[in-house]
Structure 1
Amino acid sequence: MKLKNIEELIDNEGEITIGRIGPVRCGASASDEANCLAMLARRPGESFEALLIRLDSAIEDAIEHDIFADEINP
């Protein structure tokens, strides 16, 4: 599994968080120095690997297309 966007984000002083996020029992978030790029809720039956793949894709959408995913906040 190659997660190039997660790796690049971390290499450039960004961060990811995996675990409880507010009311969501398991989620993943990614941010750089200025923006929250993505906040994803783990879907029922979704594997941990699938969550990381979605996070990697969401980071790319945020950086390349200014599309910021937020599945945590209504």
Structure 2
Amino acid sequence: MKNIETLIDEGGDISIGPVAGLTCVAAATDGYNCLAMRVRRDGEKLNVLMKRLDKAIGLAWSDDVFTDEVNGPA
């Protein structure tokens, strides 16, 4: 999960926990922007959620695509 590692090494952070009535959300921020918010799927292993978050961080950096599964499409 190199993107998560790089994010943390550069001062960003991730958080995992309940948000807005959802039981488990993984979010990543770089200190200025929320790069990604992923909702844990029913029966999904935590390591799979983290891999999906890692991929979403990469998309934010490479393509300016910010994943938000909490708020839905704008």
Q: Tell me which residue corresponds to 2:21.
A: 23
- Alignment TM-score, normalising by the size of structure 2: 0.93
Amino acid of the structure 1 residue aligned with 2:54 = D
Q: Tell me which residue corresponds to 1:7.
A: 5
Structure 2 runs not aligned, ≥5 long: none
Alignment of 1:1-74 (within 5 A): 3-74=1-72
- Distance (whole Å) between structure 2 residues aligned to residue 33 and residue 18 of structure 1: 16
Structure 1 runs not aligned, ≥5 long: none
Determine helix, strand or coil for the equivalent of 2:44.
Answer: coil
Aligned residue pair count: 72
- Distance (whole Å) between structure 2 residues aligned to residue 40 and residue 52 of structure 1: 9
- Alignment TM-score, normalising by the size of structure 1: 0.93
What root-mean-square deviation, in Å, do the aligned CA atoms of Structure 1 and Structure 2 show? 0.8
Query: Among the aligned pairs, what percent are the same residue?
Result: 50
Determine helix, strand or coil for the equivalent of 1:34.
Answer: coil
- Distance (whole Å) between structure 2 residues aligned to residue 35 and residue 4 of structure 1: 19
- Distance (whole Å) between structure 2 residues aligned to residue 35 and residue 9 of structure 1: 12
